[in-house]
Amino acid sequence: MNLTFYPGPSKLHAQVEQHLQEAFQSGLLSANHRSTAFMAMLEETLLALRIKLSIPDGYEVYLTSSATECWEIISQSLVQQASHHVYNGAFGKKWFEYAQRLHPATTGQLFGFNDFPPDPAHVPAAEVLCVTHTETSNGTALPLPFLAELRKNQPGLIAVDATSSMGGEALPWLLADVWFASVQKCFGLPSGLGILIVSPLAIERAQALNEQNHYNSLLFIRSNFQQFQTPFTPNTLGIFLLKRCMQERSPIEKISTSLHQRAEIWYNFLRENGYKLLVGLPEVQAVTVVVAQDSEENIRMIKAKAQAAEITLGNGYGAWKKTTFRLANFPAITTDDSDRLMQVLQRSDKITG
């Protein structure tokens, strides 16, 4: 099996193999999702998430089928007229477009991916202000001061797509009301689950709107999760794997520190070895997704060299498909994995200094 640096679906935690076997043998995969056995498992899963991710009291944790479903849930259950989207890449744009189809008055504000996000004072007040914490397509992330200022300036809810950072980076939970992600990125798990985290203010807002029309209406999800149940028969195997993974994990602060350190090592390594970074501005370089840029021919050669060493690099996204490669800097990737890739990417024309 190739070692993959694809930024999601990505390398699985090695323990997943063992956990799959455990899941099969547990009998839980045949348990009814209203049974006490299932409910106990879901409770343990949510508790492990809460503890290991340092989720603040009052914030609630639910599971969905995907992060994409979370986009829909936010528009449907937390927005009355329009959300406002500040974005710099393909996934932020997609979220904006999806939201616009549900609420045509939805607005968007594009900023350059090699630039700082807009001054929060120039971001219009919104019912729900939507941002992407780490934009997987271009390897940028929102600087913490931006999120802090945004919080001060916005009167309504703030929703953050943290698909490529939750579970890897310590997130400033109190600076937003809705955080969501999926498990196939920093959680190192097979895809098929989304994680949705909401603040007391978001719950209040959902109650005020009282949207109850859908099988995945936020309040309906909530009333189910309050009993450690789900609105419909869920991906029980995925939940089991999430539980076991979170139980065995270090606290997020520790994981986050080592990912930050490794990101720095990667950015330095790439620069020192003459790779051009897609994102030059250090303040917006993502910790969990690193993107290097080169000519089509060079990118093809680099990927071929990696493949020869049984390593898969992430393709570039969209317009950069052939002129960049992407590296996941996720917790499931070990230091040995990184070292192995660095040996492949090392260039004799290394620029010292």
Q: Which two structure tokens, joined as six digits, stand for 322?
A: 């052939």
DSSP string, 317-337: -GGGTTTEEEEE--TTS-HHH
How does strand 276-277 pair with strand 289-293?
antiparallel
Looking at the Cβ atoms of 55 and 245, the one nearer to its own copies is 245
CB of 9 or CB of 118, closer to its own copies? 9
Nearest residue to 84 via CA among 67, 101, 109, 116: 109
The CB-of-135 to its own copies minimum distance in angstroms stands at: 16
- Distances, alpha carbon 337 to alpha carbons 310, 311, 340, in Å: 11, 9, 5
Nearest approach, Cβ of residue 250 and its own copies (Å)? 22
Q: Which is nearer to its own copies, 276 or 340 (CB)?
A: 340
Nearer Cβ to its own copies (67/289): 67
To its own copies, the closest distance from the beta carbon of 314 in angstroms equals: 8
Q: State in angstroms the smallest separation of the CB of 86 from its own copies.
A: 21
- From the list 115, 121, 81, the residue with the least C-alpha distance to 99 is 81
Q: Which residues bind its own copies (CB under 8 A)?
A: 1-2, 4, 6, 8-12, 16-17, 20-21, 23-27, 29-33, 65-69, 71-72, 98, 101-102, 182, 184, 190-192, 212-216, 231-238, 315
- Which residues in 156-312 belong to E strands, given as ranges? 157-161, 178-182, 194-198, 276-277, 289-293, 311-312
Query: How far is 206 from 219, CA to CA, in rounded Å?
Result: 7
Whichever of 35 and 343 has its CB closer to its own copies, that residue is 35
Rounded to a whole number of angstroms, the minimum distance from the CB of residue 237 to its own copies is 4
